[in-house]
Chain A
Amino acid sequence: MLNAYRIELRRSPLLTAFPLMIAVDLVVLFGRSRYWIGVWPEASVAAQVVTLFLGPVLAGVSAWQAGRSSRAGMPETVLAAARPIWRIEAARLAATLTLGFLAYVIGCLTAAFISFGEAGPGFLWPSYLLLGASILIIFASVGHLAGRWWPSAAFTPVVCALGCFISMLALPFKFNVLAGPPDQHLRLLPVAVRLLFALALAALAVTAPPLRRSAERQMPRQGTPLHIRGVAIGSAAGSLIALAAVPAAGELRVERPASATAPLCERAEKGVPQVCVWPEHRKYLPELTGMAQRLGQPVQPWLKSPDAFHEFGLRRNKWGDRGFDIAEGHVRTAAIAMADRVFTESLGLCIPPRQESRAWQAMDNIRLWLEYRSAGQDPAVADEGLHMEGVSAAQREATKVIRMPAAEQQKWLAQERGHILRDPSWCKPDDRF
Chain B
Amino acid sequence: MTGSDLLRYARVHRGVAVLVATAAVALLSAFFGGTHIALPSIGSGGVTTGVPFRHELPLLSAVFLTAALDGAMSAHDEMGASAMHRFRLKYCTGLTLTACAFSFATEALAVGPEAGVVFVRSLLIWFGLALLSVRLLGHQLGWIIPLASAFFLIWYPHNRWDWTSNSATDLFSWAVAVIALSVGVGATAATPWRRKAFLRT
Contacts and interface: CB of A to CB of B under 8 A. Distances in A.
Q: How large is the interface on A (under 10, 10 to 19, 20 to 34, 35 or more residues)?
A: 20 to 34
B6 to A, nearest CB: 21
Given A31-B156, A170-B37, A178-B43, A154 B66 contact: yes
Most buried by B among A24, A56, A159, A179: A159
A166 B53 contact: yes
A153 interface: yes
B112 interface: no
Contacts of A152: 67
Contacts of A112: none
B105 interface: no
Nearest to A158: B143
A53 interface: yes
Contact of B60 (A24, A64, A159): A159
Contacts of B162: none
A155 B41 CA distance: 27
A24 B59 contact: no
Given A154-B64, A154-B142, A158-B59, A178 B40 contact: yes
Contact of A49 (B21, B40, B59, B64): B40
A208 B35 CA distance: 32
A154 B65 CA distance: 9
Interface string B130-167: 00000000011111001100110001100000000000
Nearest to A24: B151
A328 B139 CA distance: 44
Contacts of A60: 143, 147
Given A31-B155, A161-B147, A162-B56, A154 B140 contact: yes
A16 B67 CA distance: 23
A155 B150 CA distance: 17
Interface in A188-211: none
Interface in B174-195: none
Interface residues of B, number: 34
Contacts of B50: 169
A166 B56 contact: yes
B60 A52 contact: no
B92 interface: no
Interface in A154-195: 154-155, 157-159, 161-163, 166, 169-170, 176-179
Contact of A53 (B44, B60, B70, B155): B155
B63 A170 contact: no
A285 to B, nearest CB: 23
Nearest to A157: B143
Interface of A: 24, 27-28, 31-32, 49, 52-53, 56, 60, 64, 71, 152-155, 157-159, 161-163, 166, 169-170, 176-179, 328
Given A71-B140, A157-B143, A166-B53, 5 more contacts: A64-B140, A154-B139, A155-B64, A162-B150, A166-B37
